[in-house]
Amino acid sequence: MSYPSLEEKLAALKVSEPTAYERSCLDAVSPGDYEIGVQRTADILDEGYEVFMRSSRSQMGVAGDSIVAMFNAQGDLVNASAGTYLHAVIPPIVIKYILKNFQENPGIADGDIWYTNDALYGGIHNPDQVAIMPVFFEGELVAWTAALSHTTETGACEPGGMPVSAKSRFDEGMNLPPMKIGHDHVLRHDVIEMFAAFGLRSETSVTVDLRARCTTADRVRVRLLEMFAREGKDFVTGLFRRMLIEAEQGARKRLASWPDGVYRCATFSDSAGTEHGLMRNCFMTMTKKDDTLHLDFTGTSPENGSSYNAHPQAVIGHLANYIYEYVFHDLPISSATFQPIDFEFPPNSMLSPAPNAATSCAVMAATGAMSSIANCVGRARFGTTEWRQVTASLGNGGNASVLAGVSQWGMPFADMLAYTINTEGQGARSHSDGINAYGFPWCAFGRAPDVENMENELPMLVPFSQHWPDSGGAGKHRGGVGTAQLWVTHHVPYVVFMSIADNSIVQTPQPLFGGYTMCTCPGLSMEGVDIPELLRAGDEGTLDLASLLAGKYGGQIVSETYARTARPVMSDQVITLGISTGGAGYGDPLDRDPQAVEKDVTDGLISDWSATNVYAVRFNERTGRVDPEATTAFRREALAERKARGKTWDEFHEGWSQRKPPEEVLGLYGSWPDAAVVNPLMRM
Amino acid sequence: MPNTIHVAEYLDLDVDSERWHCHSCGQDVGDARDNYKKGLLIHERDPGEVHPPLIDGEFTFAPNPEWIRILEFYCPGCGRQVETEYLPPGHPITHDTEIDLDSLKRKLAAGELRIDEHGKLEVAT
Ligand SMILES: [Zn+2]
């Protein structure tokens, strides 16, 4: 076997040395032509992204949780259109692997279609799959194109591609190392059959998404060839190299203004698959020096025997989500922007597990890294003129639910419900609240499907969707709230339901500068509810989360962790309550404008309880409006109470340093409190 | 104009004296080469006081208080909540911001960086 080592993967992320020919082509790109050329690459990629969404079948593909990218001949990422930044910086690992290992046998030729979904070789997790095509111009390899997206079926031990009960990679269904699945511009029929077999639970989405990736990579290839023919090889070659040079300069310039120093963040989670236990799911030490960043994950809990592990490049992919949304938002999506960033991963941690580890829920394992980077960068950046870009962490809950079975149209299906994941709250911003139901932290541009679309595609009814009060972290600026949506099986005898998440016992994101983070998310279903009555209330618009939790429609609430293994739900029964996390809060809640608190209550974004107890706002009981004088007095009192009850550092540590969480919840943690590996993990 | 950077919502860094100050009330909160949290007051809370349980049972919308606590850090001058951290009981408090003062002073003196009128750093052009 020759899967790339960690060192090889990290090296592949670095931009290749320009060849003498590339250097000579730089002069072919004059100012003006350069900007037009950059825009042409963006236009080509945007067209590809549109083709991708329109030709995909799975909910996430249709929602645009995808990326389309182009690379130079050496495999450096030059530009991309997204979708999701998750896949932004890591495809070069795969292309450089193909270039290194398969030049002779099977050879790299015009019309090839290459493919992989194996995180061991450079992906995120096996539902995330990429089609890659070399671009040959006048017989010479001049570029590469790629299309990546998430398909919700891999033939694993549970439906949906992200089995929470997987113990090793051998429970995760299809894992393809980089391989040639088509030649001469034709996708091999025996390969399509293999995908259909692995995708038996949801054959159409698996095979249609496969074709969508290939056709998208090919569209970009065709458009690039037109560009080569029109502008000449020297120009496009020079353009690509200049784009890499300028992107790197832009990234370095941005980092240079932040104060040098060390910034840290510790985050925690509560589960590895179906096993509950406290984990330090990220301990990030970010060292900023001149125009470079060094990210060290030492102190992150050990790898575990579930699928909640992430290979290092998958972690880097998750960091790209935040970095392209908030830091390099105005730079091209390019290998070069990550050139000034180096990484260190402790071996056998949950962010650098052994090759046989299950990693299909890597997106869960990496939530700590996603949250920590927002926190560390926020601290490094607030003291600069870029302070307006500082935000508290996004929700990063990723509460993903999967439905499978046979649809009302007689079609086998297994799909992820894109609504919940695509409506999380944004982290509160340094100058304003986070956006409510802003989107998917893994894919800023992913769209929540319409209810009508969901009810048409899947055998279910959606009696209500709403903003979820108190789900955004409190603060001077409030985290955006998430959503709640109810699902009821309909039209079919039963569906199979499962759910992927943690965050039912503790929340991972840390808040920023004195705010609070979001509350935890239980996995809720209802037994014995009066469904006709509930649907009537839904039609009338009186059905909401509060009335449901208050038991207004009878029956019993069943509360579990949000992560649940696959189970059948019979017709006209509540499947579950889908809830998405809000964003983390920013700043002292006592600093929040009382009028904004009043508006939040009116808009149903926070409860009366929070207005009084967290924001210390007093209302005129008769009018229901803020009482400014009473609020000022109440807050003054609250500030004084803090000073009276707060302990000094030394006083506090007398008691604190003697304590420890219960031994029975530390089984996944590693050594206390350093989270180092204690016992090597045995996998079958 | 004092050589002061507004480094966090509620923290100023006085570069010359190497001291942290509360941005709201000006209170001195300690040596800028040390963890600013050492100069703040600390209070521990059950997370359910901020995120109340909404239903009965084991999973209630409130974080489990045996697993995680909220630490609140207050300015001893004005009581502002300068920071919060969600930590398991007994877990070391994070030293989250450790600015390299020598590098900062060197870059300011060399004119590589400057502090604008709002106390924000920028690359001098
Ligand atoms: Zn103060």
Residue A266 CA to ligand 1 centre (angstroms): 26
Q: What is the pLDDT of residue A444?
A: 84
Which pLDDT band, with edges at 50, 70 and 90, does A417 fall under? confident
Q: What is the pLDDT of residues A401-414, one digit of tens each?
A: 989 999 999 999 88
Residue B30 CA to ligand 1 centre (angstroms): 13
Residue B73 CA to ligand 1 centre (angstroms): 11
Distance, in Å, from the CA atom of A151 to the CA atom of A133, rounded to the nearest integer, reads: 19
A510 to B86: CB separation less than 8 angstroms, yes or no: yes
Mean pLDDT value of segment A449-457: 90
Distance to chain A for B10, nearest Cα, Å = 7
Residue % of chain A over a pLDDT of 70: 100
Contacts of B89 in chain A (CB under 8 A): 656, 659-661
Q: What is the pLDDT of residue A152?
A: 83
| CA A398, A403, A408, A409 torsion-angle sign | positive
Q: Is the pLDDT of residue B25 over 80?
A: yes
Distance to chain A for B6, nearest Cα, Å = 5
Contacts of B10 in chain A (CB under 8 A): 513-514, 587-588
B80 to A639: CB separation less than 8 angstroms, yes or no: yes
Q: What is the pLDDT of residue A83?
A: 85
Nearest CB neighbour to B121, from listed A257, A278, A652: A257
For residues A182 and A113, the answer to whether their CB atoms sit within 8 Å is yes
A260 to B121: CB separation less than 8 angstroms, yes or no: no
CB of A668 within 8 Å of a chain B CB? The answer is no
Q: What is the pLDDT of residue A448?
A: 86
CB of A545 within 8 Å of a chain B CB? The answer is no
Distance, in Å, from the CA atom of A350 to the CA atom of A365, rounded to the nearest integer, reads: 7
Which pLDDT band, with edges at 50, 70 and 90, does A314 fall under? very high
Distance to chain B for A441, nearest Cα, Å = 21
Which pLDDT band, with edges at 50, 70 and 90, does B2 fall under? low
Closest to A77 (Cα-Cα) out of A241, A231, A222, A210: A241
Q: What is the pLDDT of residue A602?
A: 95
Residue A428 CA to ligand 1 centre (angstroms): 22
Mean pLDDT value of segment A437-447: 88
Weakest-pLDDT range from A365-374, A412-421, A470-479, A604-613 = A412-421
Q: Encode A470-493: b = buried (16+ Cβ within 10 Å), e = exposed.
A: bbbbbbbbbbbbbbbbbbbbbebe
Residue A435 CA to ligand 1 centre (angstroms): 29
Cα A366 to Cα A269, A287, A586, distances in angstroms? 10, 20, 22
Strands (E), A407-475: 412-416, 460-461, 465-467
CB of A474 within 8 Å of a chain B CB? The answer is yes
- HEC assignment per residue over A481-544: CCEEEEEEECCCCEEEEEEECCCCCCCCCCCECCCCCCCCCEEEEEECCCHHHHHHHHHHCCCC
Mean pLDDT value of segment B26-32: 97
Q: What is the pLDDT of residues A276-287, one digit of tens each?
A: 999 999 999 999
B52 to A609: CB separation less than 8 angstroms, yes or no: yes
Best residue in B75, B84, B94, B95 for a mutation probing chain A (most A CBs within 10 Å)? B84
Q: Is the pLDDT of residue A351 over 70?
A: yes
A430 to B9: CB separation less than 8 angstroms, yes or no: yes
Residue B33's closest chain A neighbor by CA?
A261
Count how many pairs of residues, chain A against chain B, have C-beta atoms within 8 Å. Answer: 219
Nearest CB neighbour to B82, from listed A510, A514, A661: A514
Residue A224 CA to ligand 1 centre (angstroms): 58
Q: Which residues are in the CB-under-5-Å shell of ion ligand 1?
A: B 22, 24-25, 27, 75, 77-78, 80
Contacts of A648 in chain B (CB under 8 A): 41-42
Mean pLDDT value of segment A445-464: 90
Q: What is the pLDDT of residue A408?
A: 95
Distance to chain B for A314, nearest Cα, Å = 25
Q: What is the pLDDT of residue A58?
A: 83
Quickly list H helices, B40-100. none
CB of A263 within 8 Å of a chain B CB? The answer is yes
Best residue in A649, A650, A665, A674 for a mutation probing chain B (most B CBs within 10 Å)? A649
Nearest CB neighbour to A559, from listed B5, B55, B116: B55
Distance to chain B for A671, nearest Cα, Å = 12
Closest to A513 (Cα-Cα) out of A583, A585, A584, A587: A587
Q: Is the pLDDT of residue B81 over 90?
A: yes
For the question of an ipTM over 0.90, the answer is: yes
Contacts of A557 in chain B (CB under 8 A): 55, 57
Q: Is the pLDDT of residue B1 over 60?
A: no
Q: Is the pLDDT of residue B65 over 80?
A: yes
Distance to chain A for B1, nearest Cα, Å = 17
Distance to chain A for B26, nearest Cα, Å = 16
Contacts of B99 in chain A (CB under 8 A): 259-261
Distance, in Å, from the CA atom of A328 to the CA atom of A423, rounded to the nearest integer, reads: 23
Q: What is the pLDDT of residues A484-540, one digit of tens each?
A: 999 999 999 999 999 988 899 999 999 999 999 999 999 999 998 888 898 999 889
Which pLDDT band, with edges at 50, 70 and 90, does A50 fall under? very high
Contacts of A265 in chain B (CB under 8 A): 94, 96
Contacts of B116 in chain A (CB under 8 A): 385
Q: Is the pLDDT of residue A313 over 70?
A: yes
- HEC assignment per residue over A627-681: CHHHHHHHHHHHHHHHHHHCECHHHHHHHHCCCCCCHHHCCCCCCCCCCCCCCCC
A258 to B121: CB separation less than 8 angstroms, yes or no: yes
A647 to B42: CB separation less than 8 angstroms, yes or no: yes
Which pLDDT band, with edges at 50, 70 and 90, does A615 fall under? very high
Q: What is the pLDDT of residue A88?
A: 84
In order, the DSSP letters of A79-110 are EEEES-GGGSSSHHHHHHHHHHHSIIIII--T
Q: Which residue has the higher pLDDT, A447 or A621?
A: A621
For residues B29 and A404, the answer to whether their CB atoms sit within 8 Å is no
Q: Which residue has the higher pLDDT, B89 or A57?
A: B89
Residue B78's closest chain A neighbor by CA?
A639
Q: Which of residues 510-539 of A touch B (CB under 8 A)?
A: 510-517, 519-524
In order, the DSSP letters of A191-246 are HHHHHHHHTGGGHHHHHHHHHHHHHHHHHHHHHHHHHHHHH-HHHHHHHHHHHHHH
Q: Is the pLDDT of residue B64 over 90?
A: yes
The mean pLDDT of chain A is 95
Q: What is the pLDDT of residue A61?
A: 86
Residue A162 CA to ligand 1 centre (angstroms): 48
Mean pLDDT value of segment A379-387: 97
Q: Enter the pTM of the model.
A: 0.96
B92 to A559: CB separation less than 8 angstroms, yes or no: no
Residue B28 CA to ligand 1 centre (angstroms): 9
